[in-house]
């Protein structure tokens, strides 16, 4: 069969652009995995709405100029497919000890375990996020938002398929076992949790959902960029296409928070409130006060920082040396791409103080990626602050210090304020509710989470978006709930 890599073959049960119909063994393995996936989706995917018609985009091509089409779909009928970006001719390993050698089309034997581990970790996060968000459909502030949630969910499901394809095609029996385990672990489960910390936390409300898609999906972006550099070409091609979808997830987060901030500012202005920190008066208006938004931001940013691992990591150095996981925008960096003699400044705790220490660049790769991530996060903060200043308020949202509220790495054993001042346990206990969402904050936000399902309607705590999805008008029925 002539494979057209740009267009996706929808004639097989599992849509793909990897010529699965000629790869009987892998097709069989994937078809064997499919029923378990559907069971998982029914059990752990969006709670309710499985029979609703949702206006979703589905990838029909991997051509960046036009790759998706929109239509009404019942979520269990979504065509989860295996889509790889086109193979680049003569691609070479772009970094590490194998720098300049031809990229691998098969798993390099010596790096098999390392590669499998990274693919499994990546795969584990995808279903985890769907599990964390499964109850949110019931409190969606609009059909527009509900549709975005479900879009994110089905695409995280597809990203799981992407990793399962790699495991089943390239890792034989242990790959198949790992694929089964990905359906067995559950977010937050005491016995069988998901692998990384942030993916076992709750996503209790829509503000958390927006923060998660802004901050945690952005870790996904950074990690996928690093894996897209991989010398193992199938992983690189898979991640490159995943990044195309990922952009929308972060858009949902950024615009979601922007709309919450906008609504709060409008309500404060209309009520003549001058002080955004006057929490009780603002809350009485039925909108989320800016200090509470800041606390949610503190929480989700710090949880997401933990996803970068320790600042100094031999795992990261090994993955780089092996040519398996590169740096953000590796091929655009102007250096020797081996890093044997370079250093990188790392924030560390030395004698009870936070200082910058030059470490070998190879072991500091997690820190470097985390720094790139922080820079990327700042962009949204600037946009949200623009909304606040345009409304005439002198209040700034900001990223907390990297030592604040950490469970992984250099600062996991200390307490710090959002400004990075080290404090003792007693001060932390006394003041932590000023910095992180308290039970009372959670209860207040929960009290606002009333579903709005009429066409074109929005909950009073969030502004409508500036434009619709797929250029649809404001009164478009993004989800036909009863069909």
The residue to which tokens 């095609």 are assigned: 169
Q: How far apart, in whole angstroms, are the C-alpha atoms of residue 469 and residue 476?
A: 9
Q: Which is nearer to ligand BYC, 205 or 219 (CB)?
A: 219
Q: Which is nearer to ligand BYC, 141 or 326 (CB)?
A: 326
Q: Which is nearer to ligand BYC, 131 or 205 (CB)?
A: 131
Question: CB of residue 207 vs ligand BYC: minimum separation in angstroms?
Answer: 16
In this structure, are strands 343-350 and 53-59 parallel, antiparallel, or unpaired? unpaired
Q: CA geometry: angle at 311 spanning 175 and 223, to 5°?
A: 40
What are the structure tokens assigned to 145, written together? 């938002």
Q: Which is nearer to ligand BYC, 169 or 218 (CB)?
A: 218
Question: CB of residue 246 vs ligand BYC: minimum separation in angstroms?
Answer: 8
Question: CB of residue 173 vs ligand BYC: minimum separation in angstroms?
Answer: 21
Return the half-sphere exposure (C-beta side, CA atoms, 13 A cut-off) of residue 136.
29
Q: How far apart, in whole angstroms, are the C-alpha atoms of residue 168 and residue 34?
A: 12
Question: CB of residue 123 vs ligand BYC: minimum separation in angstroms?
Answer: 9
Q: How many Cβ atoms are within 10 Å of 451's Cβ, its own excluded?
A: 16
| Contact residues for ligand BYC, defined by CB under 6 A | 118, 121-122, 125-126, 129, 156, 196-197, 216-217, 219-220, 223, 306-310, 313, 315-316, 325, 366, 408
Q: Which is nearer to ligand BYC, 129 or 294 (CB)?
A: 129
Question: CB of residue 46 vs ligand BYC: minimum separation in angstroms?
Answer: 15
Return the half-sphere exposure (C-beta side, CA atoms, 13 A cut-off) of residue 77.
11
- Sign of torsion over alpha carbons 409, 414, 415, 419: negative
Q: Which is nearer to ligand BYC, 60 or 209 (CB)?
A: 209
Q: Which is nearer to ligand BYC, 120 or 459 (CB)?
A: 120
Q: How far apart, in whole angstroms, are the C-alpha atoms of residue 200 and residue 205?
A: 15
Q: How far apart, in whole angstroms, are the C-alpha atoms of residue 25 and residue 33?
A: 12
Q: Which is nearer to ligand BYC, 57 or 218 (CB)?
A: 218
b/e map 380-401, b = 16+ CB within 10 Å: bbeebbebbeebebebebebbb
Q: How far apart, in whole angstroms, are the C-alpha atoms of residue 359 and residue 356?
A: 9
Q: Which is nearer to ligand BYC, 219 or 330 (CB)?
A: 219
Judged on CB neighbours under 10 Å (0-12, 13-18, 19+), 197 is middle
Question: CB of residue 482 vs ligand BYC: minimum separation in angstroms?
Answer: 30
Q: Where are the beta strands (DSSP E) in 39-78?
A: 53-59, 68-74
Residue nearest to ligand BYC (CB): 309
Q: Which is nearer to ligand BYC, 196 or 257 (CB)?
A: 196
Among 259, 229, 243, CA closest to 92 = 229
Q: How far apart, in whole angstroms, are the C-alpha atoms of residue 86 and residue 8?
A: 12
Strand partners, 54: 73, 479
Question: CB of residue 325 vs ligand BYC: minimum separation in angstroms?
Answer: 6
Q: How far apart, in whole angstroms, are the C-alpha atoms of residue 410 and residue 228?
A: 27
């Amino acid at each position: 069969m002539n494979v057209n890599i740009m267009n996706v073959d929808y004639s097989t049960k599992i849509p793909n652009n990897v010529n699965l119909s000629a790869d009987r063994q892998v097709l069989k393995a994937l078809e064997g995995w499919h029923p378990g996936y559907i069971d998982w989706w029914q059990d752990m995917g969006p709670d309710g709405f499985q029979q609703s018609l949702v206006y979703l985009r589905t990838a029909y091509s991997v051509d960046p100029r036009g790759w998706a089409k929109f239509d009404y779909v019942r979520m269990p009928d979504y065509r989860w497919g295996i889509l790889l970006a086109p193979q680049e001719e003569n691609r070479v390993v772009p970094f590490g000890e194998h720098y300049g050698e031809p990229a691998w089309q098969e798993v390099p034997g010596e790096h098999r375990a390392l590669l499998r581990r990274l693919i499994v970790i990546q795969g584990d996060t995808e279903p985890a996020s769907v599990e964390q968000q499964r109850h949110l459909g019931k409190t969606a502030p609009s059909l527009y938002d509900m549709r975005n949630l479900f879009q994110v969910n089905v695409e995280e499901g597809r990203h799981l398929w992407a990793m399962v394809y790699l495991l089943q095609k390239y890792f034989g029996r242990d790959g198949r076992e790992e694929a089964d385990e990905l359906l067995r672990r559950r977010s937050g489960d005491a016995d069988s949790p998901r692998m990384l910390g942030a993916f076992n936390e709750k996503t209790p409300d829509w503000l958390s959902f927006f923060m998660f898609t802004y901050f945690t999906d952005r870790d996904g972006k950074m990690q996928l960029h690093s894996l897209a550099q991989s010398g193992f070409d199938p992983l690189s091609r898979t991640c490159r296409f995943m990044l195309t979808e990922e952009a929308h997830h972060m858009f949902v987060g950024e615009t979601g928070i922007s709309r919450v901030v906008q609504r709060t500012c409008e309500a404060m202005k209309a009520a003549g409130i001058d002080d955004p920190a006057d929490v009780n008066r603002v809350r009485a208006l039925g909108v989320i006060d800016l200090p509470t938004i800041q606390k949610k931001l503190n929480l989700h940013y710090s949880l997401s920082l933990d996803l970068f691992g320790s600042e100094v990591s031999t795992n990261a150095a090994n993955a780089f040396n092996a040519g398996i996981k590169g740096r953000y925008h590796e091929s655009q960096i102007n250096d020797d791409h081996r890093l044997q003699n370079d250093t990188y400044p790392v924030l560390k705790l030395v004698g009870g103080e936070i200082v910058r220490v030059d470490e070998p660049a190879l072991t500091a790769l997690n820190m470097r990626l985390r720094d790139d991530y922080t820079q990327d996060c700042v962009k949204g903060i600037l946009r949200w602050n623009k909304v606040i200043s345009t409304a005439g308020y002198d209040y700034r949202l900001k990223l907390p210090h990297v030592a604040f509220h950490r469970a992984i790495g250099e600062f996991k054993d200390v307490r710090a304020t959002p400004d990075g001042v080290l404090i003792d346990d007693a001060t932390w206990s006394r003041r932590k509710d000023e910095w992180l969402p308290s039970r009372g904050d959670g209860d207040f936000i929960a009290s606002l989470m009333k579903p709005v399902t009429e066409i074109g309607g929005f909950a009073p705590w969030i502004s409508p978006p500036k434009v619709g999805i797929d250029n649809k008008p404001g009164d478009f029925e993004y989800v036909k709930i009863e069909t």
